[in-house]
Amino acid sequence: MLTVIGLEKRYDSATALENVSFELSPGELAILVGRSGAGKTTLLRCLNGLERPSTGTIRLGDEPPEPTDIALVFQEGALLDSKSALENVLDGGLGRESVWREVFGWHAPAEKRAAVERLHAVGLAGDADRRVGDLSGGERQRVGIARAVHQEPQVILADEPVASLDPATARNVLDQLAALVRREQVVGLVSLHQPRLAQEVADRYLALESGRLTLDAPAAEVDPEQIAEVYDG
């Protein structure tokens, strides 16, 4: 269980997040919606440790999360174009391997097998040796998801992971991400600017408006009109 209580983030006199509290369960994919500037990216960065909250607590079970407990899929993938898909996925396991192994490009056989399985799970079984710079946008995002899963986290976050993709590719990427969240039984939290794309995969919706959580409900209880209100004010 990921538990967030009273989370706030302030930048001098500006408040980016105000008293945000929620709980998410393993195997659950929550969709985070809100207008630009609502605080979605700030929330994800606070959860991932890239930003330090001003106040509030974040817990996994009863303990604060360790750095490797939470993985973040970035909007543009944040992959290394010069490396293969397999090498990029293996980077997700650097917290388990010695630095010298990465320097010399040597990884334990078990790590390689697991990384190949991650690629297989996102539909890229035959692309392990392809240079990431030669992949399409959708393929790159799926490599980013596979890398996040290879970190073996308890929580996977994704910040607008399909913003630059066409609708069909975006739906495919979200389907892959939802399937992995359920198969691996991790907590999933994805920020989206196109919430209609998530209607078939969302288990829960969270909405932010001006840094405040204004919606926290199971997807089955959320009407499209409620989502529209988040953007229409």
Instruction: Pick 194 or 69 by higher pLDDT.
Output: 69
Interacting residues of 132 by C-beta distance below 8 A, sequence separation 6+: 77, 79, 80, 81, 82, 83, 84, 85, 88, 140, 143
pLDDT score, position 42: 96
pLDDT score, position 173: 87
Q: Is residue 57 part of a domain?
A: yes
pLDDT in tens, 86-121: 999 998 887 666 555 555 566 778 888 999 999 998
**Boundary-marking domain end, from 153, 183, 211:** 153
**Boundary-marking domain end, from 90, 123, 153:** 153
CA 59 to chain centre: 17
**Boundary-marking domain end, from 116, 136, 153:** 153
Residues 38 and 149 in one domain: no
Is this prediction's pTM over 0.85? yes
Residues 59 and 125 in one domain: no
- Segments forming the whole domain that contains residue 90: 77-153
Q: Is residue 4 part of a domain?
A: yes
Q: Is residue 72 part of a domain?
A: no
pLDDT in tens, 62-72: 999 998 899 99
pLDDT score, position 102: 58
Residues 4 and 26 in one domain: yes
What's the structural domain count of the chain? 2
Q: Is residue 71 part of a domain?
A: no
